[in-house]
Structure 1
Amino acid sequence: MIHTLNALVDLVDRDLGETIDVAAFARQHGTTEYHLRRMFSALARMPLSEYVRRRRMTLAGAELARGAPNLLDVAVQHGYGSAETFGRAFRSVHGTAPADVRRHGGPLSTQPMLRFRLSVEGSTPMDVTITHRPELVLVGHATQVPLLHEGVNPQIQEHIASMPPQEHTRLKELGDTDPTGILAVTAEVQPDAPEGSLLTYLHGVALATTTPVPEDLDVIRADAGSWAVFGSRGPFPETLQQLWAATATDWFPSNPWRLRPGPSIVRYLELTETSATCELWLPVEQS
């Protein structure tokens, strides 16, 4: 996977004016577009689309600073059909207009070319189990929240706090299959979604496919398949978020599995205001 990501970075710089067929590239390297985008986003801390935009604007800015005579030629060279759309993208990265950079040489914001490396020592110990489950019916109370990579998500906290205590008890009694207990389910996340984009968060439990679902509950279904279950124990939410990152940096590059589309699940075994013992369930398939 590390070799594939670096080949993708090379392709971005080689074809900055062309639309990259990420799906075809993934197939050529024996993986899927979904997994490739998820791994890129996790390791680069930005979506692939954002990296492409920043690299295009970095090189375009250098050309304009050298006095490129025609803005439209520079725009077309870097994949934009008009000077207007190019100007908006340029300003979003550099905070200034292309014409100003051509006249004054800056200021410019630079996106260096990425290079991925695998850390061989494994910085985060991980307890992992591969389990195979039939279709999961995840039911509970869902809401839309912004994606945050670090720290507590206040909108999730507000969502959970808005439920009366008896509703938590009801959900616990309703769950009847693995993963058992109260679950934090994250769904409808684009594979390279930027921080702040909306996702669906469900506070709920798992039901057997034959169990009737109460009409007042929201439902997320997960296809039958394999799950990688990672154990986590420590300060909350830091330890869990570090584990998320470590799956991309340490586990997936070293194991014959890749992510498949589907929700991610956190199963809480013990939770206090400052620490948690939990399991992170990620849908996977053999690579």
Structure 2
Amino acid sequence: MRWVDRIRLVIEYVEENLVGEISIDDAAKIACCSKFHLNRVFFSYFDTTFSEYVRRRRFTLAAADVVSTQATIVNIAMKYGYTSPNAFTRSFRKIHGVNPSEVRSANATITTYRKASFPLEPVEVERMEYKIVEKASFNIVGKSKRFEFDDFTKNGKKFWKEYVGSDGYKSLCELTDGKPGLVSGSPLLTAYFPDEKKAQDKFLDVLGVEYDTGDKATTFETHSVPAATYAEFDCLYRGAMKTNRYIYSEWFSATGYERDGSKPDIVAYFPMPWRHFSEMRVRWWVPIIKNSDGV
């Protein structure tokens, strides 16, 4: 089944259960993929996370109920899965900018988020070439933070920007003196480790260097990156996120590949002397396996 068709089924699942229980575990089963992969694909297609899409659609319908029915706010909140009216009001205000009571008492403006649909404009990137590479296992030593996907899209960039300005980051870079790793060929790496066993939808984001364990590394975390087959994509830092969106929307949809389970996505950075960081070369490695049916 094509990826577009899988995502259509996920959207229909959401629409059919807006007043019931919606689980990303169930959505991932419908899409025949992991939660991590579903989140990446969904965000790449629609520029919003799966859970945020669900919230927006639910509160589009909730606002219509507030405006067009005489049901109490408490009953409307319960209809959409909120046992606390206060929690419902906070979420309503976050989506629409006003409280439910204000919608009824004044001609307040409310926001409508329509059902997601295809076709979409293709993601434009600087380069679309790729190659398939084999990488041996290696250790990445550094700093990590566990993110829920929604939190990562909102706060991940700020968190890492603050860390890069810290003494801890300076000490991390001193481990290798800027020398590239033997396997990655890069002096600095990010790894995104899916965490499919957790009840909550989280992943581990690691910024570090390729480094064998030793006394110098004891103040940092060590994570093992398993051997894997990767699809490799090159781009510049300024286009890195567009390239990632292209991978998870256009590329997976167009090829006979699936993401390889719980193995991490790797981002390798290649700074260039006397160049602005936006000109830094970036290489994405996405772990892949061939679809059994080749489509």
Calculate the TM-score normalised by the size of structure 1: 0.78
Deviation at 1:147, TM superposition (A): 4.1
The match for 1:130 is 132
Matches within 5 A, 1:52-63: 52-63=54-65
CA distance in 2, matches of 1:109, 1:103: 17
**1:118–1:250 CA contact under 8 A, matched in 2:** no
The runs of 5 or more residues in structure 2 that have no matched partner are: 197-201
User: For this pair of structures, how many residues does the alignment match?
Assistant: 273
The match for 2:268 is 267
Alpha-carbon RMSD: 3.4
1:283 aligns with 2:248: no
**2:179–2:186 CA contact under 8 A, matched in 1:** yes
**1:138–1:221 CA contact under 8 A, matched in 2:** yes
User: Structure 1 pair 268/220, CA: closer, same or farther in 2 (3 Å)?
Assistant: same
3-state SS in 2 of match to 1:163: helix
1:229 aligns with 2:232: yes
CA distance in 1, matches of 2:109, 2:16: 25
Deviation at 1:244, TM superposition (A): 1.5
Deviation at 1:50, TM superposition (A): 1.0
The match for 2:170 is 163
In proportion to residue count, which structure has more helix? 2
The letter for the 2-side match of 1:35 is H
Deviation at 1:12, TM superposition (A): 1.4
3-state SS in 1 of match to 2:209: strand
**1:269–1:276 CA contact under 8 A, matched in 2:** yes
3-state SS in 2 of match to 1:127: coil
Percent of matched pairs sharing the same residue:
21
User: Structure 1 pair 11/169, CA: closer, same or farther in 2 (3 Å)?
Assistant: closer
Matches within 5 A, 1:68-79: 68-79=70-81
1:172 aligns with 2:179: yes
Matches within 5 A, 1:61-100: 61-100=63-102
Calculate the TM-score normalised by the size of structure 2: 0.76
Deviation at 1:129, TM superposition (A): 1.9
Deviation at 1:190, TM superposition (A): 7.4
The runs of 5 or more residues in structure 1 that have no matched partner are: 192-196
CA distance in 1, matches of 2:17, 2:194: 27
The letter for the 1-side match of 2:287 is P
**2:187–2:210 CA contact under 8 A, matched in 1:** yes
Deviation at 1:49, TM superposition (A): 0.9
The letter for the 2-side match of 1:218 is E
CA distance in 2, matches of 1:120, 1:171: 37
Deviation at 1:285, TM superposition (A): 3.3
User: Structure 1 pair 68/24, CA: closer, same or farther in 2 (3 Å)?
Assistant: same
For residues 246-275 of structure 1, the C-alpha deviation after alignment (integer angstroms, 9 at most, x for no partner) is 112321111122333343322234522141
Deviation at 1:104, TM superposition (A): 2.5
**1:5–1:116 CA contact under 8 A, matched in 2:** no
The match for 2:199 is none
**1:171–1:205 CA contact under 8 A, matched in 2:** no
For residues 30-83 of structure 1, the C-alpha deviation after alignment (integer angstroms, 9 at most, x for no partner) is 333321122112222221111111111111101111143322332222222243
CA distance in 2, matches of 1:166, 1:67: 60
Matches within 5 A, 1:1-287: 1-117=3-119, 125-139=127-141, 141-142=142-143, 144=145, 147=152, 154-155=161-162, 157-159=164-166, 163=170, 167=174, 169-170=176-177, 172=179, 175-176=181-182, 178-187=183-192, 200-205=205-210, 207=212, 214-232=217-235, 234=236, 237-259=237-259, 260-271=261-272, 272-273=275-276, 274-287=278-291
**1:17–1:76 CA contact under 8 A, matched in 2:** no
